[in-house]
Structure 1
Amino acid sequence: MNSTREIITLQFGHYSNFIGAHFWNLQESSFSYDEKNVKPLEICHDVLYREGVNIKGEVTYTPRMLCVDLKNSFYQLPDVHRGLYDLDSNNIEEEILGSSNNVQIIREETVPSNEFFSDLAKHEQCTDNDDDSKLNMTEKIYNLDDDVKIWSDFLKARFHPRTITSIDEYKHNDSNNVFNNFAQGHAIWDSYKIKETWTDNLRFYAEECDYLQGFQILMDSLDGFSGLASKSLEYLQDEYSNKNIIALPVMSDNSINDDENSKLQPVNTALLFSSLFEHSNMFVPLSTSSGGWVKSQSHISLDHLSYKNHLDYHSSAILASAIDTFSLGYRSRMDCSSINRLCTRLTPLGRKAVSASIKLPLGFETKSNLLDYLQNAKLPIWQPISPQCTTDMSVAQTINLRGITQNMLYSNILIRDSKNPSHHCTSASAMLKLFLSFCDPTRMTEVNAFDSTLETIAPYPNIFSQFINQHGFVETFSRPSTSVVMKSTAISGLHNSNSMRDMLVSLKTDSSKVKGSKLSHMFNYEIDVVDYKETLENLFVLSDNYLISDCL
C-alpha cells in the first residue's frame, strides 16, 4: 500500500476560497527547505500536493485541488503567479500541453496591487534571477485589512493551471444578477464548463494518484454554491463510490444582509445539509458567527486574538487555522490514520454532522509547562466554531494539539509524586488525554500532539494580542510594534456532540419560515415545494440520532 494516501481538495464559493487561500498559504509556510535539517518532518505534504515537471524540465509542486468561483474573483493571479498561468510562458506543465482545451486561462481586469503582492513579485523576480538580495517577507508587517477585497488579494501559493474554474454566467458582487439560491447552482452544474471541463480536471488528478483515499470539500452553504456543491457530491458518489468524503460547509456573517435574499440562506443551507447526510461520510459546519445562516451579533471570542468578524480576511484565517490543525492526523507521516478511520470513529449510527473547535493561541506562557497550563486552564479549553451548537455532551472526539514539545511537559523543579499519574506522562498527547479523562465526560477521545507550530507569517492577518511574542507564547510585556507573530500554538478538535441536534432543529425552524409559494418564486419554480418539505422533515428525523447518548 502506498503510504502517501492522496487527497483531492475541492472548493466551491468565495468564502470557501478565502479559507482555502489561507489554508494553502499555511501549507507552503510550513515547507522546509533546509537541507541540513535532519529532524524528520511530521507532515506528509504529498497527501495534498502533487509533483509535476514543466516543459523546461523544472519540478513543480502544487495543490491537488480544484476551486470554483464567480467571474472577477481572480484578478491578482495572472500578474503575480505568471509562471503557472500564462500559456505563453515556458513554465506551463508539460502534461497539459497536449490537451490545452481543458485548461481555463483566467484573465481578469487589471487592479492595483497591494504592498504584499508588490513585494511578492519582487521576491519571485529575485528568485528567478538568482539574486541574493531577496526581500525578507517573513518578518515584515503588512496591514492588508483595507486592501483585501477578494481571496486572490492575499494568495501566495501557486496553483496548477487546471485548478481554477470560473463561472462566467455570474460576476462577484454583481447586484443585478446575483448567484444566491440552490436552484441556480443545480443549473450551473449542467453547463459545459462544469459538466465537461471540471470533471475532466478532476479525473486528471484522480488518475495520477496511486492511493486516492478521498476528498475534502469546502463549500459555501448560503448561496448558489450550495446547489453546485450538492450536484458535485452526487457525481463523486457515482464515480468514486469507494472513496471517503469530508465536507466542510462554511458560512460568513459578512454574506448575510437584512434583505429579501437573506430568507433564502437557511433554505440553501438546509437543502445542502440534507444532501451531505446522503452523499458524504462526515460533514463539519464552520462559522465564526454563532448564528451561522442567520445574522448574529455574537461571534467566537478567543482570549489572545483581536479580530474583525466583518472582515472575511480575518474570520477565514481562524477557520483555516482550525482545518489545518484538525486535519493533521490524516496528513501525518508518523501515523497510519486516514479519512476513513477518522469518519468511522466520529460518525456512529448515522450521526454524520460533527462540530469543530479551536483555541488559538493556547495562551501558554513563555516559561510555563503543559502540566501547569492544564491545571490552571479555564474549561472548556476550546471554543466551538460550528454554528448554533456546542462541543458538550460528545460521544466521540478527536483533539489535535500543536506547538508543545516534549521538553515543555514539566517544570524543571517539579518533585514527582509516584502516585500522581500526571507526573509520569511521556508525551503531550498522553498528558492532555489524561487531563480530559478527568474533566471531560466524552466516552471516546483520541488525542494527537504535534511539535509543528502554526506558521502565521504574512499574509496571515495581524490579529494576535500585543502580549503574544514572535513564537506564539504569552509575555508579560508588549511585543515591539515592528515584530510579527511568526508561529503559534493551537488546539483544534472534531466532536460528535448531542448538541448537533439543536443546530439541525434550529435550521429546520428557520427554513420553515419561508412559505411554499414564496419559495417557488425565489427558486424560479425549479424546486418542488413538496420535496422541500420532505427534506425538512428528513432533517428533523435525522436530528433524532443525536438524542441517543449510548451509541458506541
Structure 2
Amino acid sequence: MGTREILTLQFGQYSNFIGTHWWNLQEAGFTYKSDDISEINHDTLYREGVSPRREVTFTPRLLSVDLRDGLKALPEVGELYGGLQLPSTSELNWNENAVEVKKEDCDDKSQFLKDLAGASNVEEVLNKDYDFERDVTVWSDYLYSRFHPRTVNVVKQFEYGNVNTPFDVFPLGKEVWKTEQFEEDFTDKIRNYVEECDSFQGFHMLTDCTNAFAGMSSSCLEYLQDEYERKSVLVFPVIPSHFPDNDYETEKERQDSLMSDSIRLMNLALSYNAYNEFSSLFIPLCTSEKGFRQPGLKRSFHNTEYNHKLPYHSSAILASALDTFTLKHRLKTSGFNLVDLCVDLNMVGRKCASASLCFPFCINKNVDLIDCLDQWDGPLTKSITPSCEIGTDRQMQHITIRGIPESRLKGPPHNAEKQRDLPAFKCKTVSEMLTFYYQCTQYASATNVTSVQKALPVKTPFPKFFNQKLDFTGNFTNSEQLSKPESIPVLAGLHTGAEIGVMLEKLHTETRKIKFKRFNAFISGGIENDDFEECLDNIFTLRENYEDNYFL
C-alpha cells in the first residue's frame, strides 16, 4: 500500500491548540523498537527531510497560520532547523553610529519547553508533572513536536489579543488572503508540499470559524478547488467551548458580549456556506452543547473532569477525537482513502457531517467487551458537534474504536458462563462485535467499524484530567491509583443523519434574527445584504438534504 500523503492546514489560535495536541499525540505513538510494528502509516501526515546539519528529520506535513505574538517563544521558522543567521558586523554596509537598533523582548518559554530544550533524555521530561493549566497561554507552550521552517505562517498585520484592532470579521480574513504573503508565498508552500508527494490524496483543514480566520480558510478552500479539484478536502471548523466575553459582570459588558456573539454567528454562517460550496465534507467540532449564540454548557465525558474555559483542556478532547476518527485512512493495511470517507458521508449533497466521542471508552478491569456492551446504558458516544445530537436510526456512520485488544473481546469457551447465551458471543473480532451492537441498537443505519489495537497515548503534555480510579492503561478500577493513565481506549464516530438538518435549521433561525445593516465591518469589507441573504438561503437549502425522504 502506498503512502497516500495528506497535507494538513491549520487556521487560527484554537485550531492550533487542537493541532498541537494532535501532533503531540501522534509523536507519542511513534514506535522505535524493531519488534513493535505500528498499525499506523505515519508517512501519511509526516514527511522525511534533512536539516542543514545533515540530520534526518521527520516533521508534520503541515501549514499553520496564526497572528503576530500568537507563537510566544516559538520562532516563526521553528527550532528544528535552527534560527535565522544574522550577517556579521563586517558584512554590513551601513554606518553603525547612524543606525538605531531596537530589540523586542523575547517571551519566556514555559518550564516544559525549557526542560525539553535542555534534556539529554526526553523520556524524563515526558514523565514529569507540570502546571500546564497555569503556564499555557498559547499553543506553543506545550508543543512537543518540531516543525519544518515553512510550517508556521504569521499574519503580521494583526496582533493576537489586541482589542483595538481585532481580527474578528469574515471579510478581514478574505482581505488578508489577497495579500502577497498568502496569495503567492502561502500557495507556493502548498505547491511545494504537494509536489514532494508520490501519491497525494488530499487535505485536512482545521480552522477557526467564528473570527476572521473563517474568511481566510474560505478563500484557501476556493484556491484548493481551483488548483486541486480532483483532491479531497476534509474541513473541521472548530468553535471554542468558552469565550472570555461570556463572563460579563456589568450591563455594558453584557451588551458587548451579545454584539460579539452576533459577529461570531455571522462569521460561522458565512463560513459554513463556503465550506459547503468548496470542501468535500465539513464536520463542525465543539465540546460545548450549543456552540453558537454562546457555546452553552460543556458536554460531560465518562471519568473526565475538564475545565471548558481552558483551551488547553477542551482542545485535547477534540484532538483525541480527530486522531481517532481519521485512523481508518491512515492505517498501513487499509485500502480506504480520504476520498472514500468523503463519498460515504456526503450522499445526496450532505456536505456536513457530525462527530461523536466516548472519551475514554473505559471498561472495568477484568471485564470483557461483550459484557461491557451488554450492560451499557444509553448511547455509546456523545456528540462533539455544536447544537447537534447523534441519531439512533437512519444513520450513515464510520466508527473507530482503539485500545481494546482482541483478548478483551470475550471469555474462553470453557469459562464463558452467561456470555455464551448472548448472540454477540459468536463474534470473533472487536469490529465484528461493535458492528453487531449497532445493528441491534439502531434502525436502518449503515455502520462501518474500524478497530485499532493501539490505545491513545496520554502522557505529558496531555492534560491530567482523568478519574483517579483509572489505571495506567485506562481501565476503571474500584480504588484510587497511584499511577496516572499513560494510554486510554477511545471510541469516536462520524455520522450523517436528520439531526444535522436540525442543527442547520437552528443556525439559520438564529442568524436570520440579526440585523445585518448594523454591522458595518461586514459591509465595508464587501459583503452586501443580498450576499448575506443568499448565504442564509443556501444554508436552508442544505438543511433540506437531511430530510429522511432523501436518504435510505
For residue 490 of structure 2, what is the aligned residue in structure 1?
A: 490
Relative to structure 1, the CA distance from residue 406 to residue 192 in structure 2 (aligned partners, 3 Å threshold; closer, same or farther) is same
Q: Does 1:463 align with 2:465?
A: yes
Q: Is the 8 A contact 1:70 1:166 kept in 2?
A: yes
Please identify, of 539-548 and 509-518, the stretch whose mean Cα deviation from structure 2 is larger: 509-518
Relative to structure 1, the CA distance from residue 241 to residue 109 in structure 2 (aligned partners, 3 Å threshold; closer, same or farther) is farther
Relative to structure 1, the CA distance from residue 341 to residue 83 in structure 2 (aligned partners, 3 Å threshold; closer, same or farther) is closer
For residue 543 of structure 1, what is the aligned residue in structure 2?
A: 543
- Distance in 2 separating the partners of 1:59 and 1:543: 49
Q: Does 1:110 align with 2:106?
A: yes
Relative to structure 1, the CA distance from residue 286 to residue 256 in structure 2 (aligned partners, 3 Å threshold; closer, same or farther) is farther
User: Letter of the aligned partner of 2:512 in structure 1?
Assistant: S
User: Letter of the aligned partner of 1:185 in structure 2?
Assistant: G
Relative to structure 1, the CA distance from residue 417 to residue 24 in structure 2 (aligned partners, 3 Å threshold; closer, same or farther) is closer
| 2:471 counterpart SS class | coil
CA deviation profile, 1:495-515 (whole Å, cap 9, x unmatched): 002111111111112212221
Superposed displacement of residue 183, structure 1: 0.5
Superposed displacement of residue 440, structure 1: 1.7
For residue 165 of structure 1, what is the aligned residue in structure 2?
A: 153
Superposed displacement of residue 521, structure 1: 4.6
- Distance in 2 separating the partners of 1:426 and 1:108: 62
Q: Is the 8 A contact 1:389 1:503 kept in 2?
A: yes
For residue 505 of structure 1, what is the aligned residue in structure 2?
A: 505
Q: Is the 8 A contact 2:77 2:152 kept in 1?
A: no
Q: Does 1:56 align with 2:30?
A: no
- Distance in 1 separating the partners of 2:151 and 2:104: 16
User: Letter of the aligned partner of 1:193 in structure 2?
Assistant: Q
Counterparts of 1:88-487 in structure 2, within 5 Å, are 88=85, 109-123=105-119, 126=120, 136-255=124-243, 257=245, 258-392=257-391, 393-412=393-412, 413-415=415-417, 420-480=422-482, 483-487=483-487
User: Letter of the aligned partner of 1:274 in structure 2?
Assistant: N
CA deviation profile, 1:297-319 (whole Å, cap 9, x unmatched): 41111121000000000000000
Superposed displacement of residue 42, structure 1: 0.6
Q: Is the 8 A contact 1:9 1:65 kept in 2?
A: yes
Q: Is the 8 A contact 2:402 2:454 kept in 1?
A: yes
Q: TM-score, normalised by structure 2?
A: 0.91
User: Letter of the aligned partner of 1:474 in structure 2?
Assistant: F
- Distance in 2 separating the partners of 1:550 and 1:536: 21
Superposed displacement of residue 138, structure 1: 3.1
For residue 91 of structure 2, what is the aligned residue in structure 1?
A: none
Relative to structure 1, the CA distance from residue 60 to residue 221 in structure 2 (aligned partners, 3 Å threshold; closer, same or farther) is same
- Distance in 2 separating the partners of 1:206 and 1:199: 11
- Distance in 1 separating the partners of 2:142 and 2:236: 22
User: Letter of the aligned partner of 1:529 in structure 2?
Assistant: N
- Distance in 2 separating the partners of 1:138 and 1:525: 47
Q: Is the 8 A contact 1:394 1:495 kept in 2?
A: no
For residue 103 of structure 1, what is the aligned residue in structure 2?
A: none
CA deviation profile, 1:227-264 (whole Å, cap 9, x unmatched): 00000000000000000010000001333632422211
CA deviation profile, 1:339-368 (whole Å, cap 9, x unmatched): 111111111100111000001111211211
Q: Is the 8 A contact 1:252 1:287 kept in 2?
A: yes
- Distance in 1 separating the partners of 2:122 and 2:27: 18
Q: Is the 8 A contact 2:76 2:149 kept in 1?
A: no
- Distance in 2 separating the partners of 1:194 and 1:27: 28
Q: Is the 8 A contact 2:150 2:189 kept in 1?
A: yes
- Distance in 2 separating the partners of 1:449 and 1:486: 20
Superposed displacement of residue 74, structure 1: 1.2
Superposed displacement of residue 52, structure 1: 0.7
CA deviation profile, 1:376-418 (whole Å, cap 9, x unmatched): 1122010000000111144200000000011111134204887
- Distance in 1 separating the partners of 2:228 and 2:156: 28
Q: Is the 8 A contact 2:170 2:522 kept in 1?
A: no
- Distance in 1 separating the partners of 2:468 and 2:42: 32
Relative to structure 1, the CA distance from residue 199 to residue 70 in structure 2 (aligned partners, 3 Å threshold; closer, same or farther) is same
Q: Is the 8 A contact 1:455 1:488 kept in 2?
A: yes
- Distance in 2 separating the partners of 1:80 and 1:163: 8
Q: Is the 8 A contact 2:170 2:214 kept in 1?
A: yes
- Distance in 1 separating the partners of 2:302 and 2:340: 33
Q: Is the 8 A contact 2:303 2:360 kept in 1?
A: yes
Superposed displacement of residue 542, structure 1: 1.2
Structure 2: gaps (5+ residues): 87-102, 246-256
Superposed displacement of residue 150, structure 1: 0.6
| 2:202 counterpart SS class | strand
Relative to structure 1, the CA distance from residue 194 to residue 345 in structure 2 (aligned partners, 3 Å threshold; closer, same or farther) is same
Superposed displacement of residue 54, structure 1: 2.1
User: Letter of the aligned partner of 2:471 in structure 1?
Assistant: N
Q: Is the 8 A contact 2:44 2:330 kept in 1?
A: yes
| 2:215 counterpart SS class | helix
| Identity across matched positions, percent | 35
Superposed displacement of residue 455, structure 1: 0.6
CA deviation profile, 1:148-187 (whole Å, cap 9, x unmatched): 0110111110010000110011010000100000000110
Relative to structure 1, the CA distance from residue 218 to residue 326 in structure 2 (aligned partners, 3 Å threshold; closer, same or farther) is same
| 1:467 counterpart SS class | coil
Please identify, of 409-418 and 301-310, the stretch whose mean Cα deviation from structure 2 is larger: 409-418
| 2:333 counterpart SS class | coil
Please identify, of 272-281 and 505-514, the stretch whose mean Cα deviation from structure 2 is larger: 505-514
- Distance in 2 separating the partners of 1:41 and 1:523: 52
Aligned alpha-carbon RMSD (Å): 1.9
Relative to structure 1, the CA distance from residue 15 to residue 79 in structure 2 (aligned partners, 3 Å threshold; closer, same or farther) is closer
Q: Does 1:68 align with 2:54?
A: no
User: Letter of the aligned partner of 1:261 in structure 2?
Assistant: S
Relative to structure 1, the CA distance from residue 228 to residue 417 in structure 2 (aligned partners, 3 Å threshold; closer, same or farther) is closer
Superposed displacement of residue 120, structure 1: 0.8
